[in-house]
Amino acid sequence: MAQHEVEITISRTGEVKVHVKGAKGKACLEYAKWLTEIVGRVKSQQNTNELYEPEVRSRIDLHQDLRVDDGP
């Protein structure tokens, strides 16, 4: 089964950036739709080449790994 990774970065100003990795075909659009329901309005969207690759059916299990950047 293919493994997908969703990388979410939230800036100090509250801007949310999401990068879906490993989701082929329209599967990444399903992630985008789901995330939009959680975080709200989409400011911009960039599709990667994986969108145009053959889709692989899979089950989505969500896992959260929270990291806090205490940088400047």
Identify the domain containing residue 40 by its residue range. 5-52
22 in a structural domain:
yes
42 in a structural domain:
yes
Indicate yes or no: pTM above 0.85.
Answer: no
35 in a structural domain:
yes
Per the structure, the count of domains in the chain is 1
* pLDDT tens sequence across 16-60: 888 888 887 777 788 778 878 877 777 888 887 887 877 766 566
Q: Which amino acid is at 68?
A: V
User: What pLDDT is recorded for position 2?
Assistant: 61
User: What pLDDT is recorded for position 17?
Assistant: 83
DSSP 3-state assignment of 10?
Answer: strand
User: What pLDDT is recorded for position 61?
Assistant: 67
Per-residue pLDDT at 15 exceeds 80: yes
25 in a structural domain:
yes
67 in a structural domain:
no
